[in-house]
Chains A and B, each alone.
Chain A
Amino acid sequence: MSSLSTDTAAPAPAEGSAPGIGQRFAPALMAGPATVLFAVLVLTPLLLTFLLSFNEYEHATGRTHGFTLSHYAEVLTDGYYLEIFLRTFRVAALATAICAVIGVPEALILSRMRNPWRSVFLLVVLTPLLVSVVVRAFGWSMLLGPDGVVNMILQAVGIGRTRLLYSEGTVVVALVHVMLPFMVIPVWTSLQKLDPAVEQAALSFGASRTTTMLRVIAPQILPGILSGSLIVFGLSASAFAIPGLLGGRRLKMVATVVYDQYLGELNWPLGAAIAVILLVANLIVMLTYHHVVDGHYRKRMG
């Protein structure tokens, strides 16, 4: 019906040109404000950081404006930085995997709840987002500290005081806590889009609950798991507050090293180079992952 009316309106010569131009540029105009905001707030600092990473640096004189690739060479050849990068991606990958293992069933359970409870629990899932990351990190450090609740319990049951803080495990646990909503929400959204009859169809053919889950539901929510994983991984790999507060001085991750270079060593160009490498490495990991998983999915679902 609607296509019919536009078809008949189109040949009218008087109207043909003026709204045509308006319509052609309307999407661009509407996207304008967001584009400007993105350019000013994201691209400009990124570009400046990128340029900064090629500046020379002397301990005595600080930053100069000469051009050098030495910072990149230093980061890429020094085992110290390599270890930090590996740790960062290991922690991020672990946090992503755990988020998927916890978040997917959580979203499934959430999607099966009836309404008063569904809303309540959805809110519970989202609450971590309402509390500052710093506050949550402090919360964890109080829980896991030498005199924290966990250690008190460990002592009480006779295991004895254990050093929990400043370990990779603690950083992973805290990251999972912070990132979980970013996994649950996309998975939940893709579950909402499923036709409940498809699940019933699988059951009617004699499939067990588990088979239905694995063969019918899981493949359909794969895009949700994929986007959740990308968000969690990206945010975890560049996380600063959690590793900064729970990893301590020794357990460095890339973002904390960048911070150290900027504010500790005052070697801004080196910090910038590390930041750029993190960005590129992050992009490569995410694009590869996306390519592998989504390619597999696209082949089937289009």
Chain B
Amino acid sequence: MSFLTLRNVTKRYGSFEAVGNVTLSVEKGEFVSLLGPSGCGKTTTLQMIAGFVDVTSGTIELDGRDITRTKPNSRGLGIVFQSYALFPHMTVADNVSFGLEMKRVPKAERAALVEEALALVHLDKYAGRYPRELSGGQRQRVALARAIVIRPPVLLLDEPLSNLDAKLREAMQFELRDIQRKVGTTTIMVTHDQAEAFSISDRVVVMEAGRITQIDQPYRIYEHPETEFISRFVGKTNMLPGTVSAVGNGRATVSLAGMAAGMPADVPADGLSMGETVVLCIRPEKLRLAPAGQGRLQGRVTDRFFLGSQWLYHLDGPLGPLMAVATNDGEAPLDPGAPVGVDWPAAVVRVHRGAMPAAPELESLE
């Protein structure tokens, strides 16, 4: 029995459908992220759960109760806003205390709970400060403490870390997850940052143009993206256009455009038919660099980027440009211009039906 259920939830602004037919079940204590490019309807979905945006059609159920038309101030959810939305005229302690006061928690108990919540986010020393006297990361933690202190059934986070710098963001990701585990609150987080969604979520909901395209565990989404949009949106990918040239025994053979017939790709058939146009997606870290002359195809290094623990190579070959990632094992990297062989295990190839998407689309994605 799921704790929070969205059934066919749709939001239309005039004729524009911001969110369409979103169906989602969240278990108690689960951490779920809504991931998608800017403008895909994540905030709108969250705001419908919070009650600030009216649902056009569909239902939202919390713990078996229909809350679709419930006013936001009777839902009792904890919300962390992107701008944090702290009360600027109240101290940190008063900010955190506000929700408890509204729940008419006795004063003495309130003070204890506020102290506990502030300790949880390591801000016990800052209780008397005003929000303007805090750094971005501290404000973010006040917003979090303020939301969890009321013990909400569901915690909603709208891009909670997007206003922080990269280093702090990474630290806060783990802290956020840690706190969520300790408190055990069912959490829904909106983000456009796949690393953020992957590192802290139990499940990730990928959204695209107002619709859910995949719901799965982070690892599954990365390794088995259901659309070629997802494989491009989550991490980098090499896309190779091809045509199904043979089907049999549950496997299909794909001839890659521009590649000698001697080296076709062998993939699971999955309902593919002869002559169908497909795109093969292979993640850069799945490509293996081999000495020139070996491997499935031959190419040349055009550029290399040092990423610290890894080298990112740009290659050129018969299939066009490719990206490959190699572990920095301490040996000298390949130089631009060097010939190189490229290989991959058959199992890492993902097949998506349809033609190659237009190239510029890649740039516009986050």
A binding-site residues for B, Cβ under 8 Å: 195, 197-198, 200-208, 211, 215-216, 219-220, 300-302
Q: Across the interface, name the chain A residue whose C-beta is closest to B156.
A: A204
CB distance from A26 to the nearest CB of B (A): 30
Please name 17 pairs of A and B residues whose Cβ atoms are closer than 8 Å in the assembled complex, sorted by A: A195-B83, A197-B83, A201-B86, A204-B50, A204-B73, A204-B77, A204-B79, A205-B98, A205-B102, A206-B74, A206-B103, A207-B98, A207-B102, A220-B88, A220-B89, A300-B130, A301-B89
List, in ascending order, chain A residues with CB within 8 A of B103's CB.
206
Contacts A201-B87, A206-B73, A207-B102 aside, 4 further interface pairs with beta carbons under 8 A come to A204-B78, A220-B89, A300-B130, A302-B132
A200-B79 in contact (CB<8A): yes
Q: Across the interface, name the chain B residue whose C-beta is closest to A300.
A: B89
List, in ascending order, chain B residues with CB within 8 A of A195's CB.
83, 85
Interface of B is mostly: loop
List, in ascending order, chain A residues with CB within 8 A of B339's CB.
none
List, in ascending order, chain A residues with CB within 8 A of B89's CB.
219-220, 300-301
Please tell me if B72 contacts chain A, counting CB pairs below 8 Å: yes
List, in ascending order, chain B residues with CB within 8 A of A202's CB.
87, 98
A301-B81 in contact (CB<8A): no
B81-A201 in contact (CB<8A): yes
A203-B87 in contact (CB<8A): no
Known interface pairs A198-B87, A220-B88, A301-B88; A203-B132 also in contact (CB < 8 Å)? no
Q: Across the interface, name the chain A residue whose C-beta is closest to B149.
A: A205
CB distance from A299 to the nearest CB of B (A): 10
CB distance from A186 to the nearest CB of B (A): 18
List, in ascending order, chain A residues with CB within 8 A of B219's CB.
none
CA distance A207 to B88 in the complex (A): 17
CB distance from A288 to the nearest CB of B (A): 22
List, in ascending order, chain B residues with CB within 8 A of A211's CB.
102
Which chain B residues (63-85) contact chain A, with CB distance < 8 Å? 71-79, 81-83, 85
List, in ascending order, chain A residues with CB within 8 A of B71's CB.
203
CB distance from A298 to the nearest CB of B (A): 11
A206-B102 in contact (CB<8A): yes
List, in ascending order, chain A residues with CB within 8 A of B52's CB.
200, 203
Q: Across the interface, name the chain B residue whose C-beta is closest to A212.
A: B73
CB distance from B54 to the nearest CB of A (A): 14
